[in-house]
Structure 1
Amino acid sequence: MLGWSLMFLVLAIIAGVFGFGGVAAASADIAQILFVVFLVLLVISAVAGAIRGRRPM
């Protein structure tokens, strides 16, 4: 998911350089949404790992 957000970020930067405002805005919005989703999943994973604790292998 981080890869997708980085891809849309790069696409937004390239579109912004070439002056495609609508495409740049849409790509930036998608990148921002994916980043927030990734961040929420990271926090949930960290909390679940802390609650569960480490299991010996």
Structure 2
Amino acid sequence: MLHYAVVFLVIALIAAIFGFGGIAASAVGIAKILFIIFLVLALASFIAGLIRRG
């Protein structure tokens, strides 16, 4: 998940450099959503690990 967020961020940066504002904005939006999903899943995994161990 984090890998795809970084890929979309890089795509957004390259699109912004070449002047494609709409594509860059879309790629940044997708990157934000993927990063939030990554954070939620990472937190859930961490909590599940603590519960399982304890």
TM-score computed with the length of structure 1 as normaliser: 0.90
Partner of 2:15: 15
Q: Which stretches of structure 1, 4 residues or longer, exceed 3 Å deviation after superposition?
A: none
How many angstroms apart in 2 are the aligned matches of 1:6 and 1:17? Answer: 17
Task: Measure the CA separation in 2 of the matches of 1:13 and 1:21.
Answer: 10
Structural mapping, 1:1-57, within 5 Å:
1-53=1-53
Can you list the C-alpha shifts for 1:17-50, whole angstroms capped at 9, x where unaligned?
1110000000000000000000000000000000
Sequence identity of aligned pairs in percent? 54
**Greater gyration radius:** 1
Q: Which consecutive residues of structure 1, in runs of 5 or more, have no partner in the other structure?
A: none
Structure 2: gaps of 5 or more residues? none
Alignment partners' CA distance in 2, 1:37 and 1:18: 29
Name the CA distance, whole Å, in 1 between partners of 2:44 and 2:3. Answer: 19
